[in-house]
Structure 1
Amino acid sequence: MQIQLLIPGLLWPTATLLGPAAGLALDGLATLLGRGTRSMHGFEPYDRQLARLFGLEGSALPLAALRRLGEAGPQPPADDGHWLCADPVNLSFAREHLLLQAFDDDQLPAEESAELVAALNESFTDLGRFEACTPTRWYLRLPRASRGTLYPLDDVVGRPVKHFLPEGDDARLWQRTMNEAQILLHNHPLSRAREESGQRAVNSVWLWGAGELERMPQAPAALVQATDPLSIGLARASQCATATPELSSALKQDTLVVIDSLRKPAQRLDLDSWRSGLEALERDWFSPLATALQRGRIDALRLIAPGDRGTLVVANCRSDRWKFWRKPHAFDALLKSISPAPMALPDAPPPTAPHTDR
């Protein structure tokens, strides 16, 4: 029995003198890191790594259609047009840059979301139809496929928007659409009311996820445990059973477990939430999995942790439990070992050779 554990956000994205995981009791994770075989791979977007687990390659995957397939509630017919993610965002200036920030579901009431989507549909009748599956996950259904390069929202959050503008054959169409949506939403009474109450306004949408499937995804395991709609959509497209992450059922068959509870805290540099989530993972997953490996209940465990500095892969197998000479490896020490070297200050003097008397 094999388990693959995919945890985006496990690697804290910045290095500090005081380690981000310092002081946390993470004995189970330390055991997995010490007993297993660790490797660090170059950076690759998380969605591509997730798709590869389902046998899909390429940079133009239909992530919007797959994410829409993973949403709760009734599903549209398979031939019911093409899809883009059209997620609500806030654009604001920081010095000379226009930066993008996303919303959590609890930051945007469902009734406000529905009203804003209705306003978009009134203005873009010739383009397609917008819909909201959750307050912060919106979609645009198109009559034909897009021939443009549209960057995923996670790649753009907190970064200058000018580096991620649409490219390709339909670039002008999508740039114009986002500009017009920005004007419409900025002037909407709800946006003004939010600003007056001290909340971030929904003043634009971010379009992404265009693409076409060249082949159907393949089930990576007997069961996929996940809560995010992209993982669930990939599993549904591969006709694989799905469930919410839960250890006891994962131990009964080959399972891919996707846990994204650390992704947003790491992305927002919310250290307190990230540390709390890490402690929960230690309690619910790392410590019990280390025990299960020690007792021979698991043939193989593969931990995959995509981050902005690269991807950590830790492979544990049944025979590793006898390798008593492999000692636990502290997670905080691992984070420091993969941190980039500190940059020298621009005005720092160059190093000089020590003075010696002759």
Structure 2
Amino acid sequence: MQIQLLIPGLLWPVATLLGPASGLALDGLASLLGRGRRQVTAFEPYDRQLARLFGLHGDTLPLAMLRRLGEADARAPEPGSHWLCADPVNLSFAREHLLLQAFPDEELDPAESAELVAELNGIFADLGRFEACTPTRWYLRLHRPTAVTLYPLDDVTGRPVKHFLPEGEDARLWQRTMNEAQIVLHNHARSRAREEVGRRAVNSVWLWGAGALDTPPQAPARRVQATDPISIGLARAAGVAVGAPDPGAALTQDTLVVLDALRKPAQQLDLDTWRRGLETLERAWFAPLAEAFRAGRLDTVRLTAPGDRGTLQLELHRSERWKFWRKPYAFDALLKSIAPAPMQMQMQMQMQMQMQMPHPTGPTDAPR
């Protein structure tokens, strides 16, 4: 029996004066790290690593179509249809940088999302039709395919927008569309009302995920457990059973488990939420899996943790169970071992301080 864990956000993305996991009781994770063969490989985007588990390769992946397929309504995109993710975002200035921030699920309500999407549909009917599957996951169904390279929202969150503008044959069209959408949303009554009460306005959309599914995904295991819609969409496209993460069920058959509860806290540098999430993973997954491995109920455990500093790869096989001389390896020690050098750490902390001083931006500040 084999379990593959994919855990984006497990590696805290920035250096801290104290270890980000210091003081946490993570005995199960320490046991897995100590017993297994581990390495930290070069950075690779999370979406590419996820897609590769399903046998998909290349720089252009149809993430919008796959995410739409994974939504709760389970309505599969029609064959030949073309989609973009069009997620609501907030743009603000931090010193000289125009930064993008996504919205947590609970920060927007369905009514305001529906009203904003209706406004966009009134303006951009020539491009396609917008829809909101959740308050923070919007889509644009295109009337025709597009030739453009668009960067995933996760890659842009918290970073200067100027480095992630559209590229390719239709780049000017989509740069202009995002600029115009920023004007529309910035001037909308909903956005002004949010600003008046000190809340972040929905003042733009981020378009990403273009592409067509030329090759069907392949099932990576007999079962997939996930809650994020891209993983669910990949599983559905591969024709493999998919359910919510459940350690008990995962221990009954070969399973790919995608655990993404740490991804947003890591992106948003929300250390308290990240630490609480890590403790939850220890209780629900690391401790039970370590015990199952010791008891011989697991043949193989693989853990992949994509992060900004690199990707943690951990692998345990049945033969490692007898190597009693391998001692637990504290997770905080691992994080410290891959921390930036002192000078890099100082520069990183200065950049963090700059980016925590946002200033609202109006439509004239849109990226050109």
The TM-score with structure 2 as length reference comes to 0.92
Cα drift, residue 80 of structure 1: 6.0
Question: Where do 1:84-233 residues align within 5 Å?
Answer: 84-233=84-233
Distance 2:106 2:196 in 1: 19
How far the C-alpha of 1:78 sits from its partner, in A, is 2.3
Cα deviations across residues 241-270 of structure 1 (Å, max 9, x unaligned)? 000000010001000000000000011111
Q: Flag structure 2 segments of 5+ consecutive residues without an equivalent.
A: 348-368
State the one-letter code of the partner of 2:294. Answer: Q
**Aligned twin of 1:309:** 309
- Partners of 2:104 and 2:237 in 1: CA distance: 26
Q: Aligned partner of 2:332: which letter?
A: D
Query: Shift in Å at residue 278 of structure 1?
Result: 0.4
Is 1:2 aligned to residue 2 of structure 2? yes
What amino acid does structure 2 have at the position aligned with 1:65? Answer: M
In structure 2, the partner of 1:30 is: 30
Secondary structure (helix, strand or coil) at the match of 2:343 reads coil
Gaps of 5+ in 1: 347-358
What letter corresponds to residue 15 of structure 1 in structure 2? Answer: A
**Cα offsets for 1:52-111 (capped at 9, x unmatched):** 000000110100000000001141442262000000000111111111010011000110
Letter in 2 for 1:19: G
Q: Distance in 2 between matches of 1:260 and 1:221?
A: 18
Q: How does 1:188-337 map to 2 (within 5 A)?
A: 188-337=188-337
Q: Deviations over 1:157-213 (max 9, x none)?
A: 111111111000010100010011000000000000000011000000000001122
Alignment RMSD, CA only?
1.1
Residue identity in the other structure for 1:156 = V
| Cα distance in 2 for residues equivalent to 1:304 and 1:102 | 25
Equivalent residue letter for 1:170? D
When normalised by structure 1's length, the TM-score is 0.95
Deviation at 1:287, TM superposition (A): 0.4
Which residue of 2 is the match for residue 47 of structure 1? 47
**CA distance, structure 1, for counterparts of residue 253 and residue 219 of structure 2:** 13
Query: What SS does structure 2 have at the residue aligned with 1:15?
Result: coil
Query: In the alignment, what sits opposite 2:56?
Result: 56
The one-letter code sitting in structure 1 at the alignment partner of 2:293 is: L
Q: Which has the larger radius of gyration?
A: 1
Following TM superposition, by how much is the alpha carbon of 1:143 offset from its aligned partner in structure 2, in angstroms?
1.9
Q: Residue 255 of structure 2 aligns to which amino acid in structure 1?
A: T
- Cα pair distance change 1:148/1:223, threshold 3 Å: same
Residues in 1 aligned to 2:74 and 2:30: alpha-carbon distance in whole angstroms = 43
Cα distance change, pair 202–293 in 1 and its aligned pair in 2 (3 A): same
CA distance in 2, matches of 1:74, 1:216: 18
Cα deviation 1:305-324 (Å, max 9, x = unaligned) = 00001000110111211100
Matched residues in 2 for 1:113 and 1:192: separation?
14
What is the identity, as a one-letter code, of the residue corresponding to 2:225? Q
Q: 1:132 to 1:153 in 2, by over 3 A?
A: same
Aligned residue for 1:198, secondary structure, equals coil
Runs of 4 or more, structure 1, over 6 Å off, are: none
**Relative to 1, partners in 2 of residues 1:138 and 1:42: Cα closer, same or farther, differing over 3 Å?**
same
Counterpart contact for 2:69–2:77, Cα < 8 Å: no
SS of 1:205's equivalent in the other structure is strand
1:254-310 CA-partner distances (Å, limit 9, x unpaired): 000000000000111111000000000000000010000000000100011000010
8 A Cα contact 2:33 2:328, kept in partner: yes
Paired AA for residue 12 in structure 2 = W
Equivalent position of 1:79 in the other structure: 79
